[in-house]
């Protein structure tokens, strides 16, 4: 029987990752559309009427809910607050809710107001739910440990969404990662054996995006794009041909492991395909912390040299960094600053270690009696760990704040940007477009940043770029605009931190009280008990 369903994507809170203040320069509202829901939409029966609302670019009028037979919702843990608001509204209007995605998959047993959980990988569990729904016997929870082939994964329904408000479109090539980092939940969600789509499948998805008229960047959201290097190279060769046939309409970004630097052929293929950025999970320069966290692949590398090699192959390196490991020395914050500044990594996402559900770290801390409460999924904006660290909590928070303050001082940020600009070749396969939108962004940048307290560092960076890499001037403007967001978020965090310091007057109760303040404001899932199902 045909149904009318509404797909809702919850709001992502203000964080370093959302780039809210940068997107305003280019007239965008969000970085990515909801790839998971768009893929689910393609798996629903063809005779169903499907609408989608992304709360990151629009609002939800509750009065429309009764016009739908059910609501589908997918979310990450960081979207919990918005997720709960949506499901509560649906309950008020008596509209059934079907939920999936990383947050429900990890914590479904503690989530209220959901009628049906369709968890893990939708290729396995969604058909079972749809079958039972058709016969009027849908169950409360559908789950499976099966890791399906991606051969049958359909092309996402880009026809049901306007891509104009987004700065990038996400596509997926593979799931799974061959490594076994203690703090990462990817292997529990998707396994350690990377599974890939065929090049033909991926090109069909590129065709679908191209058909919408979108002409900006594609982010391949694999947690490790090079988990299967042979398959990645096959795909890259196909992308190169597609890009040539279509006059290079897209630039590409992705996530990978640091051993990318070992494979010159792979980096050259990425360059020719139009890749201009790769995110690396570097975590820490402290070898003991890498070893205890199970990230042994990084202990075998000259991390700084590998970053430089990747940059010299034409790709910006963004990096993920963590403080709060059990083996972190007291000077870990200084070590992180030194590494980040030397690396020429402009966008360094540094967070306090977070114990996510379904990770080896979570299980270990729970068994040691050190887990305090469930993660809120936001390790950069939550200024307290969700566990009892080996380092005193106040020292960890103070060091983290000083680390952020240092790396996102305009002087240090623009120094890293210039290091990066000076390393990459001036010739690129895809140059950042300079349309009226980019001209408007430049004017806004000159006004907002050119008359800011850091105007000297801003203009010094732009002038040095014109001197060293004039063809990359638009890239420099983009980095400056991203810096505007990073500076704003850092200022917000510093204000909150200083406010808490004044309230506590540096008493001995500062650390636990400060932790309570932030975990309450970010709406965590509650305290952890060893008898949870």
Q: What are the boundaries of each domain within the chain? A: 4-142, 167-276, 315-533
pTM exceeds 0.75 for this model: yes
The CA-atom distances, in angstroms, between 88 and each of 96, 114, 116, 456 are 11, 9, 14, 50
Q: Taking the C-alpha atoms of 252, 254, 257 and 259 in order, what is their torsion angle to the nearest 10 degrees? A: -10
Give exposure, 420-452, as e/b (b: 16+ Cβ within 10 Å): bbebbeeebbbebeeeeebeebbebbbebbeee
Q: Which residue has the tokens 């002087």?
A: 411
- For residues 309 and 270, the answer to whether their CB atoms sit within 8 Å is no
Whether 4-142 and 167-276 share one fold: the answer is no
Task: Locate 396 and state its tokens.
Answer: 């960890």
Q: Which residue has the tokens 């006004």?
A: 447
Task: Locate 448 and state its tokens.
Answer: 């907002």
Nearest to 118 by CA among 83, 90, 149, 143: 143
Q: Give the whole-angstrom CA distance, residue 95 versus residue 81.
A: 19
The size of the chain, in residues, is 533
Task: Locate 143 and state its tokens.
Answer: 């789950």
- What's the pLDDT at 505? 64
Task: Locate 14 and state its tokens.
Answer: 């203000």
- For residues 63 and 90, the answer to whether their CB atoms sit within 8 Å is no
The CA-atom distances, in angstroms, between 146 and each of 40, 97, 121, 149, 208 are 18, 24, 8, 10, 28
Report angle CA 224, 228, 233 to the nearest 5 degrees: 100
CATH class of 167-276: alpha beta
- What's the pLDDT at 507? 54
Nearest to 316 by CA among 428, 230, 462: 428
Helix or strand run (H / E) with residue 264: helix 264-273
Q: Give the whole-angstrom CA distance, residue 26 versus residue 445.
A: 10
Architecture of the domain whose range is 4-142? 3-Layer(aba) Sandwich (3.40)
Q: Give the whole-angstrom CA distance, residue 228 versus residue 209.
A: 25
From first to last of the 533 residues of the chain, give the pLDDT tens digit.
Answer: 799 999 999 999 999 999 999 999 999 999 999 999 999 999 999 999 999 999 999 999 999 999 999 999 999 999 999 999 999 999 999 999 999 999 999 999 999 999 999 999 999 999 999 999 999 999 999 999 999 999 989 999 999 999 999 999 999 999 999 999 999 999 888 999 999 999 999 999 999 999 999 999 999 999 999 999 999 999 999 999 999 999 999 999 999 999 999 999 999 999 999 999 999 999 999 999 999 999 999 998 899 999 999 999 999 999 999 999 999 999 999 999 999 999 999 999 999 999 999 999 999 999 999 999 999 888 777 788 999 999 999 999 999 999 999 999 999 999 999 999 999 998 877 766 667 888 999 999 999 999 999 999 999 999 999 999 999 999 999 999 999 999 999 999 999 999 888 877 655 544 444 444 333 333 333 334 333 33
């Amino acid at each position: 029987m045909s149904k009318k369903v509404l797909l809702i994507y919850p709001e992502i809170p203000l964080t370093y990752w959302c780039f809210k203040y940068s997107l305003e320069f280019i007239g965008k509202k969000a970085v990515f559309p909801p790839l998971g829901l768009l893929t689910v939409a393609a798996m629903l029966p063809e005779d169903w009427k499907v609408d989608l609302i992304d709360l990151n670019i629009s609002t939800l009028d509750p009065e429309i809910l009764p016009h739908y037979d059910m609501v589908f919702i997918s979310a990450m843990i960081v979207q919990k607050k918005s997720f709960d608001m949506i499901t509560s509204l649906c309950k008020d209007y008596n509209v059934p809710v079907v939920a999936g995605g990383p947050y429900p998959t990890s914590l479904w047993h503690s989530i209220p107001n959901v009628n049906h959980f369709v968890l893990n990988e939708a290729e396995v569990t969604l058909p079972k739910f749809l079958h039972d729904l058709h016969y009027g016997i849908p169950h409360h929870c559908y789950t499976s440990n099966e890791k399906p082939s991606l051969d049958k994964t359909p092309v996402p329904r880009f026809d049901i969404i306007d891509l104009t408000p987004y700065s990038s479109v996400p596509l997926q090539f593979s799931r799974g990662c061959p490594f076994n980092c203690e703090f990462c939940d990817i292997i529990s969600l998707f396994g350690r054996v990377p599974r890939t789509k065929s090049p033909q499948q991926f090109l069909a998805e590129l065709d679908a995006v191209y058909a919408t008229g979108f002409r900006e960047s594609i982010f391949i959201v694999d947690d490790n794009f090079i988990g299967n290097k042979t398959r990645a190279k096959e795909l890259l060769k196909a992308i190169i041909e597609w890009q040539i046939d279509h006059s290079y309409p897209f630039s590409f970004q992705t996530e990978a492991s640091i051993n990318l630097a070992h494979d010159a052929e792979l980096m050259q293929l990425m360059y020719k395909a139009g890749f201009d950025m790769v995110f690396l999970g570097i975590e820490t320069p402290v070898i003991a912390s890498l070893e205890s966290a199970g990230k042994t692949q990084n202990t075998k590398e000259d991390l700084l040299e590998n970053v430089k090699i990747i940059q010299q192959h034409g790709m910006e390196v963004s990096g993920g960094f963590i403080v709060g490991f059990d083996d972190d020395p007291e000077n870990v914050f200084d070590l992180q600053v030194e590494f980040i500044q030397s690396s020429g990594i402009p966008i360094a996402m540094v967070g306090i270690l977070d114990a996510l559900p379904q990770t080896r770290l979570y299980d270990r801390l729970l068994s040691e009696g050190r887990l305090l409460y469930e993660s809120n999924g936001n390790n950069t904006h939550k200024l307290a760990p969700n566990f009892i660290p080996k380092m005193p909590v106040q020292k960890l928070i103070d060091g983290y704040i000083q680390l952020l303050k240092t790396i996102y001082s305009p002087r240090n940020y623009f120094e890293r940007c210039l290091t990066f600009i000076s390393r990459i070749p001036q010739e690129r396969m895809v140059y950042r477009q300079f349309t009226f939108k980019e001209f408007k962004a430049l004017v806004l940048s000159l006004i907002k940043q050119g008359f800011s307290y850091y105007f000297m560092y801003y203009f010094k960076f732009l002038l040095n770029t014109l001197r060293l890499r004039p063809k990359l001037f638009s890239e420099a403007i983009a980095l400056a605009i991203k810096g505007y967001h990073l500076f704003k978020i850092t200022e917000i965090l510093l204000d909150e931190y200083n406010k808490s310091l004044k309230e506590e007057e540096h008493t001995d109760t500062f650390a636990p009280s400060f932790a309570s303040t932030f975990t309450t404001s970010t709406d965590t899932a509650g305290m952890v008990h060893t008898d949870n199902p």
